[in-house]
A and B are shown apart, each in its own frame.
Chain A
Amino acid sequence: MKGQGRGLQAYALLYLLFLYAPIILLPLFAFNSGTIIAFPLQGFTTGWFAQMWANATLRTALTNSLIIAVSAAILATCLGIFAARASTRFEFPGKGGMMGFILLPMVLPEIIVAMSLLVVLLGVGVELSILTVILGHVLICMPYAIAILSTAFSSLDRSLEEAAYDLGETRWSAFRLVTLPLVMPGIISSLLISFTISLDEFIIAFFLAGNQPTLPTYIFSQLRFPKQIPMIMALGTVLVALSIVLLTLGEYFRRRGNARMGGNPTGGFL
């Protein structure tokens, strides 16, 4: 038994190394003074970060991405609350089908979503902008928001709400005063995950943003120029650090939410 466990453990650790290989390399190249992304490393520099900081297009792209990600996160979470509440609290004919349809973007190739939406928007004559990107991002963030929020809503003790009704609260005030605070960790976690997905989403932004840059489309356009790549590595390092912070926060809130409702601590973001 012990031997078998050891072997599996070694394999699992190797697998983690495989998963983390790109992330470990990223900062090495970001602080490397050589202009070519290859070993051996040259010397230490923070020049690429300075270059990144001074880049005006990058700043526009960042602003656009932040506007898109914040809007998409809020809208997807709001819509997600409706769906999660409906699916965990009420029974009605056709529920499975409707929920399945809302969750469909999770498995649909993004290129299909992006292309079909593009064709319709151009057909109707809507001008492409960051607004059209937000439309697409809300659609693809919503299933993830619902997955997280459903967990939060389903571990909710219904008798607490009923107690509130008995104490004279209306349906809305009971929701606001009892349910909402209890699922708040789930909501924060959903906002963070949606924000992260939107910030990193490339395909939809690539097709629907018109001539507005977002962070991923800017990165994609720069990967063609070898001279720009060290700066992109610096940008990547910052982004990775940022996502790790956001995800750790999200995980913290998810666990706290679970602990508050006495749930078990396992389960991931998906």
Chain B
Amino acid sequence: MAKGLDAQARQGYALIAPPFLYALLILAAPLLTILTYSFLTDGYLEVVRDFTWANYAQVWTDPIVRTVMLRSLVVSALVTLVTVLLAFPVAYYVSFMVRPEKKATWLFLITIPFWTSYLIRVFLWKVILGYNGVINSSLTGLGIIDEPLTFILYNVNSIVITLAHAYAPFAILPIFVALEKIDRSLLEAGRDLGESRAMTFWRVTLPLAMPGVLAAVLIVFIPTIGDYVTPELIGGGKIPMIANLIQVQMLALDNRPLGSALAVTAMAIVALVSIVFLLINRRFLKVRS
């Protein structure tokens, strides 16, 4: 039996080796490299091999970096909140109200916009929300407002709306999967035991859907913090997020050690936030297992 296991393990390793080695070479090696770079000194046109904490000291004390880092965190948190709150009722509708044979079509409709050109979608949000944009020109045209609405003009709000649109399927799909797994007889039991519909939702459905909601939160939060395109296009480069700062340090200023320190710090913060979030929600994750 032990021998059989060995043969199976060997075969497994042989199969997983090509994709794993590829990921090691193209992902792990580069990540280790920027980790190393972040401790080196920036020289003129090259990186000097002197160990230093100076890059991190600069990252943590520079007020610009702090502002941008904080803004990135706030924007990502807002995007995550908005996306998940907007997405939950849709996931709930598709899982509980749509007839089984129609579910796949609904999911397909929800995912289609996600696969169309990201740049053009972001640009069109600028067109929709802009000064002479679709919303403002139709509202002024109808005589509802005199002045264009300013709270959606090229600012953090418009970045949040654009990103909430871009990451919608990332929130809907995990929540939908979690809702689908809920045993419907549990809900009937809740009703039979005299709970109201709202209480059943609150005490049975929501806790059971929590793993999906948590997955949605992480899967939206992590990539949005590193978004480069939306601040660049919507904010016109005036409200940079952390990705824009990394790009400037790495390419425009060619300070690779500082850029690497920024990237590593950003990743560490994201990892930390995610871990804290998971720990806080350990209770909900246990429900499944």
Contacts and interface: CB of A to CB of B under 8 A. Distances in A.
B226 A110 contact: yes
B20 A19 contact: no
Given A104-B23, A113-B27, A117-B30, A216 B243 contact: no
Nearest to B227: A109
Interface of B is mostly: helix
Contacts of B86: 15
Contacts of A92: 8-9, 12-13, 16
Centre residue among B31, B34, B120, B134 by max chain A CB count within 10 A:
B120
Interface residues of A, number: 87
A102 B227 CA distance: 21
Centre residue among B101, B104, B109 by max chain A CB count within 10 A:
B104
Interface of A: 4-5, 8-9, 11-12, 15-16, 18-23, 25-26, 29, 36-40, 79-80, 82-83, 85-87, 89-93, 95, 98-99, 101-102, 104-105, 107-113, 115-120, 123, 135-136, 138-139, 142, 146, 196-197, 200, 202-203, 207, 216, 219-220, 223, 232-233, 236, 239-240, 243-244, 247, 251, 255, 265-270
A187 to B, nearest CB: 15
Contacts of A196: 115
B173 A83 contact: no
A23 B116 contact: yes
B250 A11 contact: no
A193 B134 CA distance: 32
Nearest to B250: A115
Given A12-B90, A19-B110, A142 B120 contact: no
9 contacts: A12-B106, A16-B109, A25-B128, A92-B8, A98-B20, A110-B228, A111-B243, A220-B229, A223-B123
Contacts of A115: 34, 246-247, 250, 259, 263
Closest 4 CB pairs of A and B: A109-B226, A90-B12, A116-B30, A86-B15
B211 to A, nearest CB: 16
A90 B11 contact: yes
Contact of A220 (B23, B119, B137, B246): B119
B225 A109 contact: yes
B34 A119 contact: yes
A202 B119 CA distance: 8
Which range holds the interface residue count of chain B? 35 or more
B264 to A, nearest CB: 9
Contact of B117 (A86, A93, A219): A219
B37 interface: yes
Nearest to B164: A18
Nearest to A142: B19
Centre residue among B116, B134, B165, B243 by max chain A CB count within 10 A:
B116
Contacts of A197: 115
A39 B141 CA distance: 10
A15 B90 contact: yes
Contacts of B173: 268, 270
Interface stretch (B49-57, B59-67, B215-223): B215-223
B116 A116 contact: no
Nearest to B243: A111
Interface in B104-155: 104, 106-113, 115-121, 123-125, 127-128, 130, 132-134, 137-138, 141
Nearest to A199: B117
A239 B30 contact: no
B169 interface: yes
